[in-house]
């Protein structure tokens, strides 16, 4: 994927530094209610949003997700000022997909009414790609759930989750701000190799969250769906063989132990620790966005 262009001047909209986020993440991780907040994040993410199913299925593949993320970021960077028109040509130049696959994805999003064309002022032929709310909530599902995780971990702050759930534009601006941070620094995901590997598998992140949900259920004596290939296939709309491949990726590294029927037995503590550090890093990232470039823009 091409490096993200910096659409903002950091002097105009202060951007946090990676070391600030790391310090805050360590503080969040030490909070006594952290594990329960991470459990609620998993459950909220897996429930999704009403009506976002078409977009969610398109987003199961990581490269498609990143391209749609860029589409949203490009649009709000342009709409709010500072960025070039959010055209298909711009998206093709930034996407990790080929130019043809990027165009095909946009065609599929248009067919699903997840993207619309918007006129570019001063350019009679220019068409910007405007993400529909369904696409914003599909792509922004994880940022939204991490914002709610941040709300739970620091209840003294004004809660942002309710407004993000009510206003697609607010969530779109959170996606844009997160993209600006990545452009100025690097992907947060790079520091979490197992999480990264799971996101690279079609629907792998969803299966990972189902595994974590089972882990928390075991710790709390709660019943959770089995992790059999058939159950995962039905739950996430993937083939049983692919579900098996995702589970095998964890079992082969001895990160997950299941019964022959897919009942949860144990999770490697190293994976649980990596997932908690990932959640803390994302919550810290979100908090610093709200205190920096999004300060005063998104509240209750």
CATH number at residue 197: 1.10.10
Residues 216 and 180 in one domain: no
For residues 181 and 39, membership in a common domain is answered with yes
69 has pLDDT over 70:
yes
pLDDT-derived band at 13, boundaries 50, 70, 90: very low
Q: Is the pLDDT of residue 58 over 80?
A: no
Total domain count, the chain: 2
How confident is the model at residue 14, as a pLDDT? 45
Q: Give me the percent of the chain exceeding a pLDDT of 70.
A: 89
> What values do phi and psi take at 202, rounded to 5?
-55, 115
* Rounded Cα–Cα distance for residues 162 and 151 (Å): 10
Q: Can you give the pLDDT at residue 5?
A: 42
- Residue 114 inside a domain? The answer is yes
The verdict on 59 and 170 lying in the same domain is: yes
Range of the domain at 198: 191-274
Q: Quote the pTM value.
A: 0.88
Task: Identify the band that residue 10 occupies on the pLDDT scale cut at 50, 70 and 90.
Answer: very low
Instruction: Clarify whether residues 66 and 164 are in a common domain.
Output: yes
Domain check: are 60 and 132 in the same one?
A: yes
pLDDT for the residue 55: 60
Q: Is residue 247 part of a domain?
A: yes
% of the chain exceeding 90 in pLDDT: 70
State the average pLDDT over residues 57-63. 75
Distance from chain centroid for Cα 179: 11
Q: Which residues pair with 256 in a beta bridge?
A: 267
């Amino acid at each position: 994927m091409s490096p993200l262009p910096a659409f903002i001047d950091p002097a105009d909209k202060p951007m946090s530094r990676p070391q600030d986020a790391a310090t805050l993440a360590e503080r969040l991780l030490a909070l006594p209610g952290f594990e329960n907040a991470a459990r609620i994040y998993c459950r909220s993410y897996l429930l999704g949003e009403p009506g976002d199913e078409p977009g969610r299925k398109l987003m199961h593949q990581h490269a498609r997700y990143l391209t749609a993320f860029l589409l949203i970021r490009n649009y709000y960077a342009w709409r709010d000022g500072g960025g070039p028109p959010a055209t298909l040509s711009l998206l093709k130049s930034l996407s990790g997909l080929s130019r043809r696959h990027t165009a095909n994805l946009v065609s599929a999003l248009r067919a699903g009414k997840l993207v619309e064309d918007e006129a570019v002022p001063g350019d009679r032929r220019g068409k910007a790609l405007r993400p529909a709310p369904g696409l914003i909530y599909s792509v922004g599902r994880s940022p939204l759930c991490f914002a709610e995780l941040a709300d739970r971990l620091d209840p003294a702050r004004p809660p942002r989750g309710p407004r993000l759930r009510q206003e697609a534009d607010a969530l779109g601006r959170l996606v844009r701000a997160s993209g600006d941070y990545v452009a100025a620094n690097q992907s947060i995901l790079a520091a979490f190799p197992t999480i990264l590997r799971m996101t690279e598998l079609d629907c792998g992140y969803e299966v990972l969250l189902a595994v974590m949900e089972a882990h928390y259920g075991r710790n709390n004596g709660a019943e959770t769906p089995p992790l059999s290939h058939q159950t995962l296939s039905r739950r996430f709309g993937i083939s049983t063989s692919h579900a098996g491949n995702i589970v095998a990726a964890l079992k082969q590294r001895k990160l997950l132990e299941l019964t022959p029927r897919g009942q949860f037995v144990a999770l490697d503590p190293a994976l649980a620790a990596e997932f908690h550090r990932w959640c803390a890093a994302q919550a810290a990232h979100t908090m610093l966005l709200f205190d920096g470039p999004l300060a005063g823009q998104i509240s209750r």
